Structure formats: structure tokens, C-alpha cells
Amino acid sequence: MDLGEGIRNAINKITKKNIIDQKAIEEYKKDLQKALISADVNIDLVFEITNRIEERLKKEEVPSGISEKDYIINVTYEELVRLMGSSYQPELKPKRILLLGLYGSGKTTTAAKLAKFYQDRGLSAGLICCDVSRPAAYEQLEKLANDANVAFFGIKNEKNVRNIIKNGLEKLKDRKIIICDSSGRNALDNELINELKEINDEFKPDEKILVLSADIGQVAGKQAEEFNKAISINGVIVTKLDGSGKGGGALSALNTTKAKIMFIGTGEKIGDIEPYDSKKYISRLLAIPDLSALIDNIKKVLEEEKINEENIDIEKLDFDTFYKELKAMNKMGPMKQILSMMGLADVPKEVISQGEEKLKKYKVIIDSMTKEERKNPNLLKDQNRIKRIAKGSGVTETEIKEMIKEFNKLKKYMSILKDKKALKKYLIK
């Protein structure tokens, strides 16, 4: 069972209970502890985070407009982000990057992934093979460079790293990003340190990045400190987060060191790399939608359509604003998820998922209304008006009545929203 599954199970268990009392919270705490410990999170950190979650759930009042379930998820989410928190935005400028680390950590794969990452963002990239110890290291990187469609340089059977780098820098001088892949060892020893120092001298990297595999769990923290002491690193890349149950242990341990988590590897394929963003990672772990992306999206839409609490006068909601609202909601994407997270799960489905088709039909109907009808929905209680609009718009009377029903639902939902102030709270945060 991976960390996400463990935590999701714990959440499901507590939120299914009829009454969430002190005992239920303590049980939840124990379930979380089990999940975190099995992900190899350091035991002190486990107690720290679960104590804080317990305390918050016992002491804090559930804010109005948020269901207890969403509140539990939210507290857990916030504390996990604190445990594994940080995010990295790679600067898109020319640079030299040296990747280092132990055997099998994922250096060579990551070198190619990283080269492609930058090249896809407009910076031509090249790879230099400086792994002089492993047989077939040259062929492996050459093939990966080919797959990634980036330049490659290496000298077969050459053991002198300075020589390789001198020639490589000359050959790849038109490349904006140059990434050097180095030898690994079973452990950090003097031989490796000396080799890395030589590469460092000759290559003069802007970034020295330690590549670590997530499956070493909390040892990641210690390893980052050791490498940092020996050769001073700028950050780390954690690979194999897809396949290891110990990712939580690795990320949380790194978060307690000075080592910056720059990227994470999430699969064997060349595109399986992303800059680290703990919020995104935890959202995925808890299988909740990427909240920050969704909230950004809502903000954008609200700005575009100038819809906010001040601008919507519920009493005055008419068919003109109705159409605008539907269009705005359509742009927001999985609205249902956002709303249910805000404790507004009772919003009618039909209001939320208006397909383009329906929107078009509504537009035609609304276009066939008179100005007065649009401004005063009450007029449509008159059957004759509905008949006239049906004729004019080429839709059935039933469809018009359906639209009116949805209009009324929207009106109701707007008042819930205004009442709970939930949306505003989320947007301001």
C-alpha cells in the first residue's frame, strides 16, 4: 500500500463515521501514523505531523460553509504540504548542469529527461557522457539522447574526464543547456569525490544536482548532506517516485535538510519529469484535484466575466446574466469537485455541467426573448410567451421550461454561495 492509499483509506474511514468524536480523531491519527511510517517517514516527523493534525481537528472549529469531511482533508493536506513542502521553478536560461549520485539512482535517465525538459522550453540541449566506470554507459546515454532528440558527446573507452569535458564543451558550444552525466558508486568514497572534483574543475557547472532514488526513503536526507559536504550541491532530483512506497520518507527527510528538491522523476519514460511542487504532489497523493490550478482558473474566469459576489445581485439575476454565468461555469472545468470541496455538494448537477450544446440552445432561446422578458423572468409564467419563443427559436416548449427550471436552480445556488461566502474565502486565501 502506498502512502496516498494509506492516507486516503484513513480519510475514508473517519469521514464515513456518523459522529466524529475525540475517539474517531485518535483513531484517524493512528491510521495516519501507520501510513506515514510504512512510507519510511522519520518517526519524529510522523509524531510531529500527526500530533498537529490531531490538535487542529480537536481544537479548531469547522468553518461555516465547509463540510467536516472537506475540513479533515484540508487540514491533512496542509500538514502534509508542511511536511514535504517546497517548490522549484527552474530558470530558463543557458547553464551547465552536473548530475551526480550513486549507482542506479537514475542519473543517466534523468540527464536525458532534463535535457528534453529544457529543450522543449526553447533551450537547445546537449549531453556529455562522463561516466567512465560503467561499461556501456556511453551507449546508454547516446541512445537516450537520440530518444530525446538532443545532442550527445562522449569518447568511448576514454578514462580521463578532463579530456572528455574539454572536447565535449567545444563540440556542444552552440548548446544552451549542457548536462554532464557522471559515474556512480555503491557508496560515496574518495575515488568518486576526486573524480567529481575533477569534473567540477573542468566543467564549471552552474548547478550540481544530486540524483536520488525515492526507494532509499529517509536515507535521502543523510545522503544529500554527505554529498553536500563533499562537493557542495545546489539541489536534488528524486527519481522513481512512481514506483516506490518510500517517496514520502525521501521527500520529508530532504525537506529537513538544506537540499532543495528541484525535480522529481515519475516514470521510466523520457517525459516523466517535473519541477517539484509539494502542493501538486500532495494533491495527487490525496487524489484531490489540483486545487491551486483550479482556484487560479476560477479567479481567471471570474475576472474575465466580472462575476463576483459584489457584481451578482441575486434578486436581479435575469436571463442575460444567466447565460453569462453558464458560459463562465463551463470554462471552469470540474466545477463539481471545487464546489463539493467547499461544502456545496448540494448544487444541482445540471447547473454545473452545462455542455456546449445546451449553451447554444439556451442562447438561441434567450435571443428569441424580448428585452423585457430577459430582464423580467417572471413574464415567462405566461404560456403564450413561451409558445411564441418556441416558435421563434425552433426549440420545443418543454426545452424552454427546462431552461427556466435551471435558471431557478442557479438562482438558488447563487444564494447558497452568497450565504456561505465559501467561494470568496477560497479565492482570497
When CB distances are held under 5 to 8 angstroms depending on the partner's kind, the choice from Mg ion, ligand GDP, none that residue 367 binds is: none
Q: What per-residue string of b and e applies to 317-329 under the rule 16 or more CB within 10 Å gives b?
A: bbbebbbebbbbb
According to DSSP, the residues that pair with 122 across neighbouring strands are none
Q: Is 213 in the site for Mg ion (CB under 5 A)?
A: no
Residue 242 interaction partner, one of Mg ion, ligand GDP, none, beta carbon < 5-8 Å per kind? ligand GDP
Shortest Å, Cβ 147 to Mg ion: 15
Residue 91: helix, strand or coil by DSSP?
Answer: coil
- Asked if 228 interacts with Mg ion (CB under 5 A), we say no
By three-state DSSP, how is residue 379 classified?
Answer: helix
Question: H helices of 85-211, where?
Answer: 107-120, 137-148, 161-171, 190-203
The answer to the question of residue 245 lying near ligand GDP (CB under 6 A) is no
- Is 183 a residue that touches ligand GDP (CB under 6 A)? no
Distances (CA, A) of 175 to 17, 94, 181, 231, 382: 59, 8, 16, 26, 72
Q: Which has the closest alpha carbon to 169: 140, 217, 222, 205? A: 205
Task: Work out what residue 106 binds among Mg ion, ligand GDP, none; the CB cut-off runs from 5 to 8 Å by kind.
Answer: ligand GDP
What is the nearest approach in angstroms of Mg ion to the Cβ of residue 141? 7
Which amino acid, residue 404? I
User: Does the protein bind ligand GDP through residue 274 (CB under 6 A)?
Assistant: no
Closer CB to ligand GDP, residue 110 or residue 393?
110
Selected from 90, 267, 333, 392, the binder of ligand GDP by CB under 6 A is 267
Strand, coil or helix: 18: coil
Quick one: which of 63, 243, 289, 377 contacts ligand GDP (CB under 6 A)?
Answer: 243
Mark 110-149 with x for binding to ligand GDP (rule: CB under 6 A) and - for no binding: ----------------------------------------
As given in the structure block, the three cell numbers for residue 159 are: 578514462
Among ligand GDP, Mg ion, none, what does residue 63 contact (CB within 5–8 Å per kind)? none
The residues near 130 (Cβ < 8 Å, ≥ 6 apart) are 161, 164, 165, 180, 181, 182, 183, 199, 203
Reported as type and span, the H/E element at residue 340 is: helix 335-341
Concatenated DSSP letters of 191-223? HHHHHHHHHHHHH--SEEEEEEEGGGTTHHHHH
Footprint on residues 360-379 left by ligand GDP (CB under 6 A): none
How far apart (Å, rounded) are the C-alpha atoms in residues 252 and 46?
10
For residues 93 and 134, which CB has a smaller minimum distance to ligand GDP in the complex? 134
Which residue's beta carbon is nearest to the bound Mg ion? 108
Q: What are the residues facing 275 on neighbouring strands?
A: 263
| Residue of the chain from 242, 274, 290, 399 that contacts ligand GDP (CB under 6 A) | 242
Residue 102 or 352: which CB sits closer to ligand GDP?
Answer: 102
Q: Does 275 bind ligand GDP (CB under 6 A)?
A: no
Pick the binder of ligand GDP from 247, 265, 366, 407 (CB under 6 A).
Answer: 265
Distance, CA of 106 to CA of 267 (rounded, Å):
11
Which listed residue (68, 78, 272, 305) binds ligand GDP by CB under 6 A? 272
Question: Residue holding cell 557547472?
Answer: 205
How far is the C-alpha of 230 from the C-alpha of 197, rounded, in Å? 9
Contact call for residue 76 and Mg ion (CB under 5 A): no
Query: Using an 8 Å Cβ cutoff, are 88 and 235 in contact?
Result: yes
What phi, psi does 364 have (nearest 5°)?
-60, -45
Q: Which of 240, 246, 280, 361 binds ligand GDP (CB under 6 A)?
A: 240
The H or E element containing residue 126 is strand 125-130
* Distance separating alpha carbons of residues 36 and 137, to the nearest angstrom: 36
Binding part of the chain for ligand GDP, among 18-26, 52-60, 240-248, 416-424 by CB under 6 A, reads 240-248
Q: How far is the CB of 98 from Mg ion (least distance, A)?
A: 13
Candidate segments 61-69, 164-172, 264-272, 398-406, binder of ligand GDP by CB under 6 A: 264-272
Residues that bind Mg ion (rule: CB under 5 A) add up to a total of 2
Cell of 308: 463576483
| Residue 272, contacted partner among ligand GDP, Mg ion, none, CB below 5-8 A by kind | ligand GDP
How far is it, in rounded angstroms, from Cα 244 to Cα 136?
26
In whole angstroms, the minimum distance from the beta carbon of 149 to Mg ion comes to: 20
Interface segment toward ligand GDP; rule CB under 6 A; list 18-26, 69-77, 100-108, 155-163 = 100-108
Q: Is 223 in the site for ligand GDP (CB under 6 A)?
A: no
Kindly tell me which of 179 and 386 has the beta carbon lying closer to ligand GDP: 179
Ranges within 97-126 binding Mg ion (CB under 5 A): 107-108
- Contact positions vs ligand GDP (CB under 6 A): 101, 103-109, 184, 239-240, 242-243, 265-268, 272
